[in-house]
Amino acid sequence: MDQTLRITEIFYSLQGEANTVGLPTVFIRLTGCPLRCSYCDTAYAFTGGEKLGIDDILLQVSRYKTRYVTVTGGEPLAQPACNPLMVRLLDAGYQVSLETSGALDVAAVDSRVSKVMDLKTPSSGELERNRYDNIQYLTLHDQVKFVIADAADYQWAKQQLELYRLVEHCEVLFSPVMDVMSPTELAERILTDQLQVRFQIQLHKFLWNDARGK
């Protein structure tokens, strides 16, 4: 197998979301994504990038003093060498999380990886791409994320929460689309309905807006 990956950027920042929010983390952003979500904030990662071998990637990661590494995109699993990269990172002692769209099979992802998997809401425009079979591969150290733009998205997310009994499989994240869904409104809906989910706001957007490499 080709052990090179096309990389958009490798950078050091604070984790902006998920259950390690606020922790200094190295992000490895892979290039390319088969989806085109309406709220995507990383369209610059669809094309371009630089081909790097796994050894070169680990060397760059080693320059930062943190044990947390997030492999993101684009859609990281679209590149075949993504899984070997994560295994190498794990074997080197890093705590690895994977941000994935939920449209590609996660069965082969190493069980040590913390999967942060989207279930695409109706407003994303990619609802039909959800691969619900992936839910069976989630564990209690994984997370399902719903990115919510409006009341219809919220109601749909609630239905999936109940239909798939998601809180029994993993942690569940509800996140408002920045500048579209009021964070306060979403928070109040969660409290009113007493949902057992984690409300999250993208911390990095409050600190650095949409600056690349942050």
Binding residues for [4Fe-4S] cluster: 33, 37, 40
CA distance readout (Å), 9 to 29, 114, 212: 5, 21, 9
Give the residue numbers of the binding site: 14-16, 29, 33, 37, 39-42, 72, 74
Most distant CA pair in the chain, distance: 51
Give the residue numbers of the binding site for S-adenosyl-L-methionine: 39-41, 74
Strand 143-148, strand 114-118: pairing: parallel
Give the residue numbers of the binding site for substrate: 14-16, 29, 72
Give the residue numbers of the binding site for Mg(2+): 42
Burial class from Cβ neighbours inside 10 Å (0-12, 13-18, 19+) for residue 31 reads buried
Rounded to whole angstroms, the Cα distance separating 209 from 164 reads 34
